[in-house]
Structure 1
Amino acid sequence: MSFLNFLFGKKRIFKHPVLGDFTSDRTKGNDKSKTYTWYGYVNLETGNVSDYVSSIFVNGNENSPYSNQLHFITELVQNWTNKYLLEIEQKINQESFSKKVALRNWKKEFYLSAVYANNVKTLDFELTLESKTNPEYPTIGIAVKNGIIYKAELYQ
């Protein structure tokens, strides 16, 4: 055991059949009531696998991420194109974001850069969409509660 592991605990790996590996914060002890952050990566883009990777941040205990959060993210990944992207498009059109020059071709220009679990107990998530080519473009934040997209915001 390394000195860091002894002092601060060790990082753990959880292998998910669809989403791949998740790595935990450093965990120490077996306190079932303590919540840890777990992170992983997935690629929703076709083509070059190394480009446009989505980071996933979820909550969990010392052994694994919470199953309800993994279930939602699995469903998000498996239905990204045929469900969630269409719902995001509707919400963006409602907010009139697509009228801005930088966002006219947002489906081609932006990718899902991150998924954040906002709440340990409920299925509140934020999806972050960023430009593939222009870091000056705004970021689009999508709020999801219980699998339903309810808000889209622009972050300048």
Structure 2
Amino acid sequence: MKILDIIFGKKNTINHPILGKLVSDRIRGNNQTKSYTWVGSKTLGNTTKETTLIMEGNPTGPNPLHINFISDLVQNWEQEYLPKIERIISEKRIDKKEVFLKWKNDFYVGGIVPLDNRKSEFELTIEPLDDNVSKSIGIEFKNHNIIKVYTY
């Protein structure tokens, strides 16, 4: 065991059948009430950039609510989630702003982050492929439903 592992704990890794490799913060001990961040990545849609997947959990793995939502989103991205997002972006006229005119081609899902450690509430960020563009779209989900869409 490395000295860093002894002092700070070690990172745990699990392989999820849908999300792939998920790696934890450094974990010391087995306190099931302590919260740890778990991180993975996945490619959504037809882009080469990976989406960062962030979940909260305990030493044994991410919160099942977090795993369930992100797994569902990954599996049903094209058929279910993307059409809902397209509709809301159109309704809110976000796609009429010059920077977002071709958002489906010029942007990708940069990250999926929990808004609450213990609930199925997440923010999904749609970020530009071009590093020189600084605008993004934020989408908040609660229990698999879109509750808020905004630009920043």
After TM superposition, which residue ranges in structure 1, 4 or more long, deviate above 2 angstroms? none
What pairs up with 1:51-130 in 2 under 5 angstroms?
A: 51-130=48-127
Matched, 1:133 2:122: no
Corresponding residue of 1:18: 18
* Cα distance between partner residues in 2 of 1:110 and 1:81: 15
In structure 2, relative to structure 1, the CA distance for the partners of 1:134 and 1:102 (3 Å cut) is farther
The CA distance in 2 between the partners of 1:147 and 1:101, in whole Å, is 29
Residues 135, 10 of structure 1: alpha-carbon distance in 2 compared, 3 angstrom cutoff: same
Shift of 1:94: 2.3
State how many pairs are aligned. Answer: 152
Counterpart of 2:39, as a letter, is Y
- Please name the residue that 1:30 is paired with: 30
Deviation at 1:42, TM superposition (A): 0.3
The whole-number CA distance in structure 2 between the counterparts of 1:57 and 1:20 is 13
State the SS of the aligned residue for 2:26. Answer: coil
Q: CA separation in 2, counterparts of 1:90 and 1:116?
A: 22
C-alpha separation in 1, matches of 2:127 and 2:94: 14
Contact 1:126 1:143 in 2 (8 A): yes
Give the C-alpha shift of residue 90 in structure 1.
1.6
Cα deviation 1:23-73 (Å, max 9, x = unaligned): 0000001111101000000011336xxx21000000111011112211111
d(CA) in 1 for partners of 2:109 and 2:46? 13
In structure 2, distance between residues paired with 1:45 and 1:93:
19
**2:148 is aligned with what amino acid?**
K
- State whether residues 91 and 151 of structure 1, in contact with CA within 8 Å, keep that contact through their aligned partners in structure 2: no
> Structure 1 vs Structure 2: percent identity of aligned residues?
36
Higher strand share: 2
Give the gaps of 5 or more residues in structure 1: none
2:54 and 2:114 in contact (8 A); partners too: yes
Whole-angstrom distance in 1 between the partners of 2:119 and 2:27: 23
How far the C-alpha of 1:4 sits from its partner, in A, is 0.5
CA distance in 2, matches of 1:46, 1:81: 10
Report the more deviating stretch, 34-43 or 136-145.
136-145
